[in-house]
Amino acid sequence: MRRVSPTLYPPKENSPFLLILPAFTFLLSLYLGPRNNPSFLLPYLSIPAGAVVLFFVLLEQKNKKEQRLNSEIEDLQGRINILYDQLQIEETKNKALHLKLKKYDNLALLTEKFNQNLSLDDALKLLAEECFQLLGQQKSTCLIYLSDSYSELSLAGSYGPAADDSVIKDKKGDIFSQWALAHTQPLLVEDTSSDFRFDKHTVKKTSERKISSLISSCLISQNRPLGILRLDSPEKKLWTLEDLRLLSTIADIASIAIDNAKCYQNIKELAIKDSLTGLYTHTHILERLDEELKRCLASENSLSVLMLDIDFFKKYNDRYGHLAGDIVLKNLSFWLKDALKGQDAIIGRFGGEEFLLILPAASKQEAFSLAENTRAFIQAKTINLRRNKTGVTVSIGAAGFPQDADSAGDLINKADTALYEAKRLGRNRVCLF
């Protein structure tokens, strides 16, 4: 439908003959009447004169009718134009409403996807991708920073053309992310070089990438800041306040999902980790051993295990109490992690004061060398028990797959046999099966 342009019909003027004819008839009667008595002509003159007068009277009525119709047409055209303008307004409203409904549908779908993913890594990956799809522009990047208990940010997820670890060097967050976390409120920067909240010289120094505009929102759960959700771009004025509102809504949904994923991760760790030492439980370490053996069979690699036992552990309980035994176990778990830092090692508490260490892709000789270094590392440590400084020593037995055993149970038995041999020889040593 298009707007109607008014068509105007100019009114027709009365013919001058309507005035000339009566005057002509009057003059003719004056000229002929006194001298020739032309009264016999009057009937003949009055007939055409009356017809002419009637014709022009009808013509005048026709013109008035046309003027009235023209006025009605103009009024109708005005009403049509008003209806057209109202229709245009309603179409604009409908388009805006359609876009809002589409956004809400996308948010509902995003919530459903979050509910189907309980893993924190999966939730962060989904958030980065979906946020970029909803609000991302060409050359823009979506970043997710998570905050620790000390309010320090670390890059947890990214998506976009420039979302490469080699490109994004500000892993701890830049001045914009730090501002958003400190103020816990949404942030819209149309031009980073002229925003009054940030010094442009500081912006140039702190930013590793070219950032000209950005929107950011804080991830908050139970009044605790979890991190920052952000989109930035090298182009200026890329986002609006409406985009910032949508980002804030996404951040609210994501905060619940991230908090749930963290709770699920904590519950999962409680199920597979020992509450005292923080190491894998007996059941889980055996499951990991089965997985590693299957991987070794598929890749035809070797694998070694270490069975470790604390020497004279009973004396700590007898001399200092059972609480002292817990302190020894807890410190030993820290020492094992430190001694094997950087190594491909899986550590679990096998039971009591015994620990099982899995060394994927390690030969028996490599396992022996690593076990000896671990034993010496622990021997050099000291702890305070009831204000008494004391040391701890361990005995270690090692066995290899597939040369020593062809199953998980048999491999553990062979390592346990080597452990008892180390104890028989005087403890504080490493023995191979």
- Measured over the CA atoms of residue 309, residue 368, residue 384 and residue 355, the dihedral's sign is negative
User: Burial level of 190, CB count in 10 A (0-12/13-18/19+)?
Assistant: middle
Separation of alpha carbons 319 and 304, rounded Å = 35
- Measured over the CA atoms of residue 289, residue 291, residue 295 and residue 297, the dihedral's sign is positive
Angle at 232 between CA 230 and CA 235, to 5 degrees: 160
Q: Do residues 255 and 229 make contact, with C-beta atoms less than 8 angstroms apart?
A: no
Q: Which of 292, 353, 366, 372 is catalytic?
A: 353
Q: Do residues 248 and 131 make contact, with C-beta atoms less than 8 angstroms apart?
A: no
Separation of alpha carbons 393 and 413, rounded Å = 22
Q: Do residues 398 and 306 make contact, with C-beta atoms less than 8 angstroms apart?
A: yes
Alpha helices for 117-138 (secondary structure H): 120-135
Q: Do residues 260 and 368 make contact, with C-beta atoms less than 8 angstroms apart?
A: no
Q: What is the dihedral of CA 211, 214, 220, 226, to 10 degrees?
A: -10
Crossing angle of helices 42-116/120-135, nearest 10°? 160
Return all residues near 1 (Cβ < 8 A) that are at least 6 apart. 84, 87
**Looking at this protein, which amino acid is placed at residue 383?**
I
The closest alpha carbon to 292, from 408, 159, 175, 156, belongs to: 408
Return all residues near 408 (Cβ < 8 A) that are at least 6 apart. 286, 289, 290, 293
Is residue 152 part of the annotated active site? The answer reads: no
Name the 3-class secondary structure at 287. Answer: helix
Name the 3-class secondary structure at 196. Answer: coil
Separation of alpha carbons 216 and 143, rounded Å = 9
Ramachandran sector of residue 170 (left: φ over 0; alpha: ψ -120 to 50; beta: rest): beta
Catalytic amino acids?
353
